[in-house]
Structures are given as C-alpha cells and as structure tokens.
Amino acid sequence: MLPTALSLATTMLIVALLLSAWRLLRGPGLPDRILALDTLYINSLALLILIGIRFDSAVYFEVAMVISMLGFVGTVVLSKYLSRGDIVR
C-alpha cells in the first residue's frame, strides 16, 4: 500500500513541477513568474521529502531544509524587488 501511495504522490508532484515550470516560462507578468518559482521550490521540497521517505534516508530531509531556507530568502528578495524596484533601499 505505501509504495503505491508514494508512487502516485511522486507522479502528481512531477506533474505539478512541470505545470509550475510552464507557468514560470510562459507567465504573463513578473508576479506570476515569482509565484510560479515559489510553487516550484515548494513542490521540489515535497518531492525530496517523498524520496527521503521512500529510501529511508535523512539526507534528503536535510537538503529539503536548506532548500526551504534559500527559497524563503529568494521569495522575500524577489517580492521586495517587485514592490520597490530595488532590493537594498
């Protein structure tokens, strides 16, 4: 039962990653692309956690934590750039 659920969840996350990548490339505006990038990294985090569960390895969870911290900072910086036009100001 668990391998079937993991396979199904992995397949659905891969589809979500592809759809997010499509929105990132074809998004009509900058806010859509930033949101697609945010969704892309969150879906990749979920995929890494599923892989960690499947292979019973803690390394994938640590990598997911590092990616989540970098993704959060990246989202904040891009949002600040979008709202102000400058990052440092």
Contacts of 61 (CB under 8 A, 6+ apart): 48, 49, 52
Q: Please classify residue 20 by burial: count the beta carbons closer than 10 Å to its beta carbon, then call 0-12 exposed, 13-18 middle and 19+ buried.
A: buried
Does CATH number 1.20.1070 belong to domain 2-84? Answer: no
Asked whether the beta carbons of 52 and 60 are under 8 A apart, the reply is: yes
Asked whether the beta carbons of 36 and 59 are under 8 A apart, the reply is: no
Percent of the chain with pLDDT over 90: 69
Q: What is the pLDDT of residue 89?
A: 65
pLDDT per position as a tens digit, 31-72: 899 899 999 999 999 999 999 999 999 999 999 999 999 999
Distance CA 47, CA 61 (A): 10
Is the pLDDT higher at 8 or at 75? 8
Q: What is the pLDDT of residue 86?
A: 73
For 19, which DSSP code?
H
Q: What is the pLDDT of residue 1?
A: 82
Q: What is the pLDDT of residue 30?
A: 87
Task: Decide if pLDDT at 80 tops 90.
Answer: no
Percent of the chain with pLDDT over 70: 99
| Alpha-carbon separation of residue 72 from 34, 39, 66, 76, 87 (angstroms) | 12, 11, 10, 6, 15
